[in-house]
Amino acid sequence: MTTLTLALFVVGGSFCAGMLGSLTGLGGGIIIVPMLSLLFHVQLRYAIGASLVSVIATSSGAAAAYVREGFTNVRVGMLLEVATTAGALSGAALSGLIPTSALAVLFGLVLLFSAYRSLQRREDHALLTTPDKWAARLRLDSTFPIAGGEQPYSVRRVPAGFALMYAAGILSALLGIGSGIVKVLAMDQTMRLPFKVSTTTSNFMIGVTAAASAGVYLHKGYIDPTLAFPVMLGVLAGALIGARILGGANTKRLRQLFTIVVVVMAFEMLYKGARGGI
């Protein structure tokens, strides 16, 4: 297979990953790494490096739109980004010390958890408006747009959310994903932000987290431009198309398809990681 043919296949696969990730709300990075390592036999650390570059590209455009619409809590995002960036730098530094087989097993477990979460009902919990000590001190409480105007909400348990974001940053660097699932769970369940605010603020943070990790991977030589560019191009195009067709798509069927794909990849990653074949 020539380099051009391989690049075209990578663009096509990345396009599908980006579109499916956009339609399910979990991002394309969760599919990119196993696709590159299992289907195209790319060395795992190079697959992670390429995925990090694509995560930076896909999060940037959507993040700007969400900020304009008033959903993103920028103050919360900037505070928690300190934790995720520190975690990302720690994870990137550890990446060279952890065997690729162990990374594959960890990735398989994260995939299974992602598949489980993708099938859960997403409902907003009761919003809290009682000021929290840390939220008041850091002025984190805000509002988000609803049909009748602006809905106020209060941020809770800031230290716990900060600690979880550090863990999310480590996962992002080790596995080349945005770790949006961990971030959304931390903000939604622990800090009690509205679900729409949690998802949009997570998207706002993902690009910076991935950029911190990618810098370390670039320094170590794990980002190959001939691989990263077609991956970024395909994922970005797929994410844009997915965002356009989201309104008319059957979300339930898409989540079922996503779950099947992710579970198959998860077991393949676990199998090859356990055998040391990756």
| Rounded-to-integer distance, Cα 108 and Cα 118, Å | 15
pLDDT tens digits, residue range 193-247?
Answer: 887 888 788 878 887 888 888 888 888 898 999 999 999 999 888 877 876 775 5
* Among 18-32, 89-103, 167-181, the least confident range: 18-32
Stated pTM of the model: 0.78
How does DSSP assign 161-196, residue by residue?
HHHHHHHHHHHHHHHTS--HHHHHHIIIIIS---HH
User: Contact at 8 Å (CB) between 127 and 151?
Assistant: yes
pLDDT tens digits, residue range 15-69?
Answer: 988 887 766 656 667 788 888 988 888 998 899 899 888 888 777 666 777 788 8
Q: Average the pLDDT over 154-178 and give the result.
A: 88
User: Contact at 8 Å (CB) between 12 and 4?
Assistant: no
Q: Which residues contact 38 (CB under 8 A, 6 or more apart)?
A: 265, 268, 269, 272
3-state secondary structure of 86: helix
2 — alpha (psi -120 to 50), left (phi > 0) or beta? beta
